[in-house]
Amino acid sequence: MEKVYVVGHRNPDTDSISSAIVYAHLKRELGMNAEAVRIGEVQNETAFALEKFGFEAPRFIEKASHDVKHIILVDHNEKQQSVEDIDDVQVIEVIDHHRIANFQTADPLYFRAEPVGCTATILNKLFKENGVDIPANIAGLMLSAIISDSLLFKSPTCTEQDIAAAKELEAIAGVDALEYGLAMLKAGADLSGKTLEDLLTLDAKEFGIGDYKVEIGQINAVDVNEIMVNQGELEDLIYRKIAEKGLDLFLFVVTDILNNDSVALALGSQAGKVEQAFGVPFVNNVGVLKGVVSRKKQVVPVLTEALSK
């Protein structure tokens, strides 16, 4: 039977890796020859979850079209966040919880996006709608994804649906969500062994906003200053990325997972608009974004508004 890849976004987070594994499992139960793959390194937080629930990381691929004709996207829909040869394969399904942009098909497809905090929350519905039971270890991965995306239910992206799904999955997985979740987030915020280049790219996403090319990197930390003390070197690395990719803006967001504020470093020709966008002063390219933890809900819409003027 023809193979179909299920893939999350570049620089995959826990939701992207977990949702690829989980949805591939569901599709196999429904008779599809689906394989979860990834297009980036597994992060510490995700590795913690995979080990806890006994999964191998999905296979790493660079391109899809050599192996398959059809792919399923989870946790993203924007072309520039996906496999580089996405134009050479047919996207037959999308399960996502982000804005929709830079996505186009020639044929109708199954596209399920919902304004919830995590792809796994939608997958939880899809298991029910298809009458398929969720195994305990799959439930554990789904719970991990919700905890990751919601920063343990504290992000403004977290909805009642995410909390309800997490409760169901917690019971199936047989773990304590708060205790396990904090351990997982701390494993993710452990930046020992990471280079500054790693910090910039681990969870970076590129966006087309208005006429501008914008990259937003985000990293969770327990001690923000430990990262920002390297501002000079970070700026050198970011300027190199701006030049290489032709970016109009690079925003590097360091999120404190304990107090839920972020510190942002903005560089590029449109950096001046970031200050206006958030209405806070940026001194020496750096500003404090109080209560901002969500790129999707608190950064991208604000920049979209500011850069579209």
Annotated binding site: 9, 13, 15, 75, 97, 149
CA atoms of 274 and 276, how far apart (whole Å): 5
Quick one: which of 116, 175, 111 has its CA closest to 143?
175
Closest to a copy of itself by CB, 205 or 296: 296
Q: To the nearest whole angstrom, how small is the minimum distance from the Cβ of residue 116 to a copy of itself?
A: 8
Identify any residues that bridge with 262 across adjacent strands, giving them in sequence order: 255, 289
- Counting Cβ atoms within 10 Å, is residue 235 exposed (0-12), middle (13-18) or buried (19+)? middle
Q: How far, CA to CA in Å, does 205 sit from each of 81, 217, 218, 240, 280?
A: 7, 6, 9, 16, 23
Q: Site for a copy of itself (CB under 8 A): which residue of 97, 205, 241, 295? A: 97
Q: Per CB under 8 A, which of residues 102..141 are in contact with a copy of itself?
A: 102-116, 125, 129
Contact segment (CB under 8 A) with a copy of itself among 3-11, 47-55, 96-104, 163-171 equals 96-104
Annotation: binding site for Mn(2+): 9, 13, 15, 75, 97, 149
Q: To the nearest whole angstrom, how small is the minimum distance from the Cβ of residue 101 to a copy of itself?
A: 4
Determine the distance from the C-alpha atom of residue 233 to the mean position of all C-alpha atoms in its chain, rounded to a whole number: 25
- 70 contributes a contact to a copy of itself by CB under 8 A: no
- 156 contributes a contact to a copy of itself by CB under 8 A: no
* Residues 14/79, Cβ–Cβ less than 8 Å: no
Q: To the nearest whole angstrom, how small is the minimum distance from the Cβ of residue 308 to a copy of itself?
A: 8
- 98 contributes a contact to a copy of itself by CB under 8 A: yes
Q: Site for a copy of itself (CB under 8 A): which residue of 61, 68, 101, 280? A: 101
Closest to a copy of itself by CB, 41 or 114: 114
Q: Which residues of this protein are in contact with a copy of itself, per CB under 8 A?
A: 97-116, 125, 129, 296-297, 300-301, 304-305
